Structure 1
Amino acid sequence: MRLQFNLEYRTGFGEHVALNFLDENGRLDRHTMQSLDGLHWQVEMKCLKDSGTYMDYYYSVMRGEKEMRHEWLVEPHRLELAAVKGAYYIVNDHWLDMPEDSYMYSSAFTDCVMARKRQLSTKTEYDHTIRLKVRAPQLRNGERLALVGSADYLGCWNCAKALPMAEHECHEWVVSLDADRLPERTEYKFVILPLDRKQALTVIWENCENRILEKPELVQGQVMVYELPQAWFSIPMWKGAGTVIPVFSLRSEGSFGVGDFGDLKMMVDWCAKTHQSILQILPINDTVMSRTWQDSYPYNAISIYALHPQYMDLRQLPKIKDEALNRKYEEIRQELNALPQIDYERMSEAKMAYLQIIFEQERAGLKRRASYKQFFEANREWLEPYARFCYYRDKFGTAVFSTWPEKLPKPEQKVLDFWYFVQYNLDKQMHDVHAHARKQRVILKGDIPIGISRDGVEAWVEPRYFNLNGQAGAPPDAFCEDGQNWGFPTYNWEEMFKDGCSWWVRRFRKMAEYFDAYRIDHVLGFFRIWEIPVPEKSGLYGQFQPALPMTREEVEAYGIPFVEDLFLEDHKRKNMWHPRINATKLGAFEELSEGEQWQFWRLYDDYFYRRNNQFWYNEAMKKLPRLTEATRMLVCAEDLGMVPDCVAWVMNDLRILSLEIQTMPKEYGVRFGHLQRNPYRSVCTFSTHDMPTLRQWWDEDEERAQEYYETVLHMDGEAPHPLPGKLAKEVLSRHLLSPSMLCLMSFQDWIAIDEKLRLPDQNAERINIPANPRHYWRYRMHLNIEQLLNADDFNHEVMLLIQQGNRSTTSAAACIPSWLDA
């Protein structure tokens, strides 16, 4: 079988195009294409593959042996060898850059809210074949693509006789045509029809001029393949609504003093019941260091892979056979579960003791299970060092591995097996939650923290990837006047680039096993990080790294005398300087003349918002494309703080969803953001886990609330306090009507609309206070999920708000095709 590939793409001087095939083992097979004009490229080859299989491939631009750029890799080209008599395939492609609607190709859509059964084409036995391929990502649940046209063969524009097409990869539809049944010239269009052929025929026509097919001259066994421009239909852009809540905050009748993965599964059901399409949680990785309440901070994990043992749903494990012990732990469970907030230490101690009992009871047959063997082999690269770390942490009473003995004793195998057992069951339960969420068409959204613990597994076994003498944090902001010091080591990106950022790719791919969307915590850290040198504590001693520091001469060129108190010396380069973030509040600034102060403000503004723009853009574009292409998850980012212009450039280039908070507008000089100006590719919310809830925000500053009441809600008179449920409903309604693709509300803000159901003490709803580095993360829902599922009046109000915002899903049962039930 012969294959010919044709591509029209303009290259630069000294460049050529290559065709790249990837085999099942990830090996690259590269073929150089030829061109006479630097625009039209062609390559021909022989193929030994059997008819009926397919090939995935992509194009790249090369300069010598170096790849300069390549196509979008999330969904490459696919060629099916579906023609039984096909002996010579001529493929006419076009270069695929990342499309504007790349989010539609994320697993959040293709495997969840718009999941359809995809299959390869039926084999055909035509003597002469024309094969059409087109991408149509707008199709919704219960819809299919078909081809209709002017020829009798294409139904004479009668959609009841349209040719069905096959979706052979996500959103790409194909059809094989018998060229002998086509006239020399055919007009045609693509149409959307009901997936269920028994339904009444409702048709959505492609919104464009008729397409034209000129029949080529074909010889026996020849297959002409045309990759066509995307089909576009007049369908409103998809919008969804959802809830944000940490797993530890969930409460059910059967949980053990903290939310668990069983509770998370039930929370998915509540989202589906109220027509929500997304459920976002906080990080769920193991944070156990000291076995005290300080381990409650979910953004300081000891492993980027291991799940936190506290999230084990004990109900899914075998029952304790000793009845006395079983009764004892049931009493403890009921006592802990009745507490208004988490008692982290008692809960953790009791759950770990319970897991030890079950492990001893069940360990004999554990290693014989096929599922256990499969889990162990697939995860042993991180699982074995994690288990060893846990062994030494407990043996020496600390996770600070720098204090462990230089010569470590051999771990006890039984202890290692315990940690394997714990992670095996956690992994199994979380996979089950993910599968359940997909079946309910609820996108499960995870959270990737910007940092890793300096006292964790990764810093222990892979220290080359981190700058352990630096601490990541944040400059002063609305949350903390002195800035923040998170204590995480900063990343050694030079070392990470040496192996193609494989550390990050592995991390993201593990996340993709559990989630279909994720939030990049502090995305600005991929442009530059606020680095505080060890052993400084205050965030005021930080400086952006990497950045372009200034020389004394550059400073003086602004007409300012170089005053060392106003600057920090670069951490890595002597006699290079950064303006102090709090320079304008220092006495040295007050001693400058009025003109010098004005010039310093000019320097300060230029340094933090303009000087590094292109430099930081280039830094981010070396990192983020590798990570966003590593999985099919929908990418969202927390882009708050001192946001330079380049952040928006990168997020637009990579189609990353921004975070839009009305009370923290990105528009300079604006008190409250205009919701209708939100970009479509964004996540809209009122509050995050680092902020006061809607009810708290409303009452903590009455002057600010009054201005919001008058200028945003357009209400007259005095703003009522505390916040009435009716007014909370108005705030949520306006957010749901915004153009943002996703509108996600914290559970506390959802329930604020119901004065009978919400927690009387609004201050008990706060999750985190960033200004307090020793904050205890212990908030729990005050009602259980069973009560929530039965709160018909409240659920009806939530569903109505979502419907009015044009964000409603159809009911879960109605939209799931039979093949998903199997």
Structure 2
Amino acid sequence: MHKILKRKHVGVLLPIFSMRSERDWGIGDITSMHGWLEILKAAELDILQILPINEMPPGVNCPYTALSAFAIDPVYIDPEAVEELKEAPEALEFLASKEFRDRLHHVRSAKTILYDDIRGLKHEALWKIYAAFDRNHVKKGTKEGRDFAGFCGKNAYWLEDYALFRRLKDVNRWISWTHWDQALSERRPEALEKARAENALEINYFKYLQWLIFRQWAPMRWRAGELGIKLFGDLPFMVNQEAADVWSRQDEFDITNSIGAPPDAFTPEGQKWGLPAYRWEEIGKNNFEWWRLKLKSSEDLYDIYRIDHMVGFFRTWIVPEDKKLKPHFDVEGEENQEARGHRFLKALVAASPMLPIGEDLGLIPPFVRKVLAEQGVPGYKVMRWETKEDGAYIDPADYPAVSLATTSTHDTETLAEWWASVAYAEKKKFWEMIAGEGRPPAFAKALDRITEKAIASGSRVVLLTYPDIFGTKDRINTPNTLGPHNWAFRVPVPLEKFVYKHGAMLEKLARWIREAR
């Protein structure tokens, strides 16, 4: 059993973008995380789960559509906390300008997260800071300049290709890399060398942003460790076709096929996600090197990681771009599917000291959970989906220790929405499991009992979403929909006023958690 699972942990799912503070630039940032860690500690919560934080392209707010499996989105940088700001007169002048104040007010007062406006504002400030850093440190070879060079060297295995790709995306006005000049799209060495030479300053800028993230993240993570709080990250199953990884490792990805989900009762035609398929034979030759490198990089960020779409590593639903070809699983036969998933999961468990948690929700073949159990990897237990053969709900106290119990996920309706929409007969059965009573009360009266029941579950890891703790209907994401309502939830109260407003709830959570431990 993994050392983290030796005792009970209770945490909250709260994306960084949701972490409101009075001083942020319209989105939560790494500086905000310090204050939210203190709030978690006050409630005895010891896990902070965040969604993927990889860099997203312009016009995109979904963290599962990333430009890189390694690069963190600069939108989470706090420009005012950058040490070199005081040495950058152009940046200081910009931050003091009326233009900046007006733009800052615009993004802060918006009802949703204005991702592109925030990115533009932060990049403008950060470019001015970087220009000063390049003059004062890179060119002069100061200690800071050498530290930056050391970071670039340590992370060259992903940073070199990412920074070049990111710059070439700008140069080519964000068209697909498959439509770039052929020499660049095919990664001919002489073309890559020429592009690096012609764009050296801008390429270094994108490396610098990743270094800033590392510098701001490290003290935050140290504080989390000091408070006894584990950081829980998320590794998406796949990256966007327009990702640095696909461009730089073309032999491992199949862009002629898309992955998706097979037909079911909800989607009779199946799903096509528009993400490239893996070439499993190729990535298996190096024992899943790309994934092992992702874990190596993530160790600087997290203590726990969620393996998205766990079933996809056993068998992936392939939707050919050629419509004459039928969708199919990329490996046939349950024995072969189990063998592939077992090999993959074994490699991941051996590659990192972090605790993996497998997202095993939906229509999952029994052998997937069998392999998870064999490898000691917790799967999910969503309370409202865990039923016996007779339809009765399973008491969370009976969940296996090696599991994660939760009331909702970022992709589901909130507990409040479910309570309002579920059939009365189903709600009655659920309430009988919760309270041993037949007549379910109004949601406001039921919430505390449900939360307490979840915390007291047999699972060694319990995760509650922020909306479920407070009984709101604020969705983080509504699958199969597009728009500014997704990936834009922000805590209504800034952290500076949170304890004053919600101190009683924090005390209640702390009491329930102490009793469960």
TM-score (norm 2): 0.89
Provide the C-alpha distance between the structure 2 equivalents of 1:244 and 1:257, rounded to a whole number of angstroms: 20
Say whether the 8 Å CA contact 2:428–2:438 is kept in structure 1: no
Deviations 1:21-60 (A, max 9, x none): xxxxxxxxxxxxxxxxxxxxxxxxxxxxxxxxxxxxxxxx
Q: Partner residue of 2:331?
A: 546
Matched to 1:416, the amino acid is I
1:363 and 2:74 equivalent? no
Deviations 1:95-123 (A, max 9, x none): xxxxxx2x11xxx58xxxxxxxxxxxxxx
Provide the C-alpha distance between the structure 1 equivalents of 2:173 and 2:266, rounded to a whole number of angstroms: 34
Q: Partner residue of 1:510?
A: 297
Say whether the 8 Å CA contact 1:517–1:634 is kept in structure 2: yes
Matched to 1:532, the amino acid is V
Which of 61, 70, 73 is the equivalent residue of 1:308?
A: 73
Say whether the 8 Å CA contact 1:251–1:784 is kept in structure 2: yes
Say whether the 8 Å CA contact 1:297–1:777 is kept in structure 2: yes
Residue 274 of structure 2 aligns to a residue whose secondary structure is coil
Q: Residues 30-109 of structure 1 correspond to what in structure 2 (within 5 A)?
A: 101=1, 103-104=2-3, 108=4
Provide the C-alpha distance between the structure 1 equivalents of 2:282 and 2:475, rounded to a whole number of angstroms: 39
Which of 341, 363, 388 is the equivalent residue of 1:642?
A: 363
Say whether the 8 Å CA contact 1:275–1:802 is kept in structure 2: yes
Residue 283 of structure 2 aligns to a residue whose secondary structure is helix
Matched to 1:616, the amino acid is Q
Q: Residues 56-205 of structure 1 correspond to what in structure 2 (within 5 A)?
A: 101=1, 103-104=2-3, 108=4
Matched to 1:379, the amino acid is N
Which of 772, 780, 798 is the equivalent residue of 2:509?
A: 798
Q: Partner residue of 1:339?
A: 110
Provide the C-alpha distance between the structure 1 equivalents of 2:223 and 2:293, rounded to a whole number of angstroms: 24
Say whether the 8 Å CA contact 1:447–1:519 is kept in structure 2: yes
Provide the C-alpha distance between the structure 2 equivalents of 1:256 and 1:473, rounded to a whole number of angstroms: 36
Deviation at 1:710, TM superposition (A): 4.5
Deviation at 1:311, TM superposition (A): 0.8
Matched to 1:260, the amino acid is D
Which of 468, 477, 482 is the equivalent residue of 1:768?
A: 477
1:257 and 2:26 equivalent? yes
Deviations 1:63-94 (A, max 9, x none): xxxxxxxxxxxxxxxxxxxxxxxxxxxxxxxx
Say whether the 8 Å CA contact 2:66–2:239 is kept in structure 1: yes
Say whether the 8 Å CA contact 2:9–2:45 is kept in structure 1: yes
Deviation at 1:688, TM superposition (A): 0.3
Deviations 1:278-311 (A, max 9, x none): 11111111111xx21xx11101111111110111
Change (3 A) 1:377 1:280: same
1:321 and 2:89 equivalent? yes
Deviations 1:629-685 (A, max 9, x none): 101001111111221121122111110011101122275553634312211000000
Say whether the 8 Å CA contact 2:25–2:108 is kept in structure 1: yes
Provide the C-alpha distance between the structure 2 equivalents of 1:478 and 1:240, rounded to a whole number of angstroms: 35
Say whether the 8 Å CA contact 1:399–1:455 is kept in structure 2: no
Matched to 1:383, the amino acid is L
Q: Partner residue of 1:735?
A: 454
Q: Partner residue of 2:463?
A: 744
Q: Residues 354-433 of structure 1 correspond to what in structure 2 (within 5 A)?
A: 354-367=125-138, 368=141, 369=144, 370-408=146-184, 410=195, 411-433=198-220
Q: Partner residue of 1:788?
A: 498
Provide the C-alpha distance between the structure 2 equivalents of 1:387 and 1:636, rounded to a whole number of angstroms: 30
Say whether the 8 Å CA contact 1:467–1:489 is kept in structure 2: yes
Provide the C-alpha distance between the structure 2 equivalents of 1:246 and 1:476, rounded to a whole number of angstroms: 31
Say whether the 8 Å CA contact 2:163–2:207 is kept in structure 1: yes
Q: Partner residue of 1:819?
A: none
Deviation at 1:739, TM superposition (A): 0.5
Say whether the 8 Å CA contact 1:663–1:671 is kept in structure 2: no
Q: Partner residue of 1:275?
A: 44
Say whether the 8 Å CA contact 2:434–2:453 is kept in structure 1: no
Say whether the 8 Å CA contact 1:705–1:719 is kept in structure 2: no
Provide the C-alpha distance between the structure 1 equivalents of 2:322 and 2:73, rounded to a whole number of angstroms: 29
Deviations 1:245-269 (A, max 9, x none): 1111111111111111112232222
Provide the C-alpha distance between the structure 2 equivalents of 1:672 and 1:481, rounded to a whole number of angstroms: 27
Deviation at 1:711, TM superposition (A): 5.1
Q: Partner residue of 2:427?
A: 705
Say whether the 8 Å CA contact 1:366–1:372 is kept in structure 2: no
Q: Runs in 1 of length 4+ with deviation above 4 angstroms?
A: 476-482, 666-669
Which of 356, 363, 377 is the equivalent residue of 1:656?
A: 377
Matched to 1:546, the amino acid is V
Residue 628 of structure 1 aligns to a residue whose secondary structure is helix
Q: Partner residue of 1:351?
A: 122
Residue 66 of structure 2 aligns to a residue whose secondary structure is coil
Matched to 1:365, the amino acid is N
Matched to 2:508, the amino acid is E
Residue 67 of structure 2 aligns to a residue whose secondary structure is coil
Q: Partner residue of 2:190?
A: none
Change (3 A) 1:679 1:476: farther
Provide the C-alpha distance between the structure 2 equivalents of 1:677 and 1:543, rounded to a whole number of angstroms: 37
Matched to 2:459, the amino acid is S
1:778 and 2:488 equivalent? yes
RMSD: 2.3
Deviation at 1:445, TM superposition (A): 0.8
Which of 221, 226, 231 is the equivalent residue of 1:439?
A: 226
Provide the C-alpha distance between the structure 1 equivalents of 2:322 and 2:488, rounded to a whole number of angstroms: 29
Provide the C-alpha distance between the structure 2 equivalents of 1:705 and 1:253, rounded to a whole number of angstroms: 40
Provide the C-alpha distance between the structure 2 equivalents of 1:536 and 1:314, rounded to a whole number of angstroms: 48
Provide the C-alpha distance between the structure 2 equivalents of 1:648 and 1:528, rounded to a whole number of angstroms: 14
Say whether the 8 Å CA contact 1:484–1:771 is kept in structure 2: no
Residue 487 of structure 1 aligns to a residue whose secondary structure is strand
Provide the C-alpha distance between the structure 1 equivalents of 2:328 and 2:389, rounded to a whole number of angstroms: 23
Residue 468 of structure 1 aligns to a residue whose secondary structure is strand
Matched to 1:768, the amino acid is N
Change (3 A) 1:789 1:332: farther
Residue 384 of structure 2 aligns to a residue whose secondary structure is coil
Provide the C-alpha distance between the structure 1 equivalents of 2:439 and 2:362, rounded to a whole number of angstroms: 34
Which of 335, 338, 346 is the equivalent residue of 1:625?
A: 346
Residue 234 of structure 2 aligns to a residue whose secondary structure is strand
Deviation at 1:526, TM superposition (A): 1.3
Deviation at 1:478, TM superposition (A): 7.5
Provide the C-alpha distance between the structure 2 equivalents of 1:439 and 1:771, rounded to a whole number of angstroms: 40
Provide the C-alpha distance between the structure 2 equivalents of 1:715 and 1:776, rounded to a whole number of angstroms: 36
Matched to 1:269, the amino acid is E
Provide the C-alpha distance between the structure 1 equivalents of 2:12 and 2:439, rounded to a whole number of angstroms: 32
Provide the C-alpha distance between the structure 2 equivalents of 1:311 and 1:730, rounded to a whole number of angstroms: 36
1:691 and 2:412 equivalent? yes
Provide the C-alpha distance between the structure 1 equivalents of 2:179 and 2:413, rounded to a whole number of angstroms: 39
Change (3 A) 1:276 1:478: farther
Provide the C-alpha distance between the structure 2 equivalents of 1:769 and 1:541, rounded to a whole number of angstroms: 28
Deviations 1:556-584 (A, max 9, x none): xxxxxxxxxxxxxxxxxxxxxxxxxxxxx
Deviations 1:740-784 (A, max 9, x none): 0011101111122xxxxxxxxx44x11111122567321111111
Residue 663 of structure 1 aligns to a residue whose secondary structure is helix
TM-score (norm 1): 0.57
Say whether the 8 Å CA contact 1:509–1:631 is kept in structure 2: yes
Provide the C-alpha distance between the structure 2 equivalents of 1:512 and 1:492, rounded to a whole number of angstroms: 26
Deviations 1:571-629 (A, max 9, x none): xxxxxxxxxxxxxxxxxxxxxxxxxxxxxxxxxxxxxxxxx1x3322111221111111
Matched to 2:330, the amino acid is Q
Q: Partner residue of 1:497?
A: 284
Deviation at 1:338, TM superposition (A): 2.9
Provide the C-alpha distance between the structure 1 equivalents of 2:423 and 2:203, rounded to a whole number of angstroms: 56
Change (3 A) 1:480 1:737: farther
Provide the C-alpha distance between the structure 1 equivalents of 2:268 and 2:137, rounded to a whole number of angstroms: 53
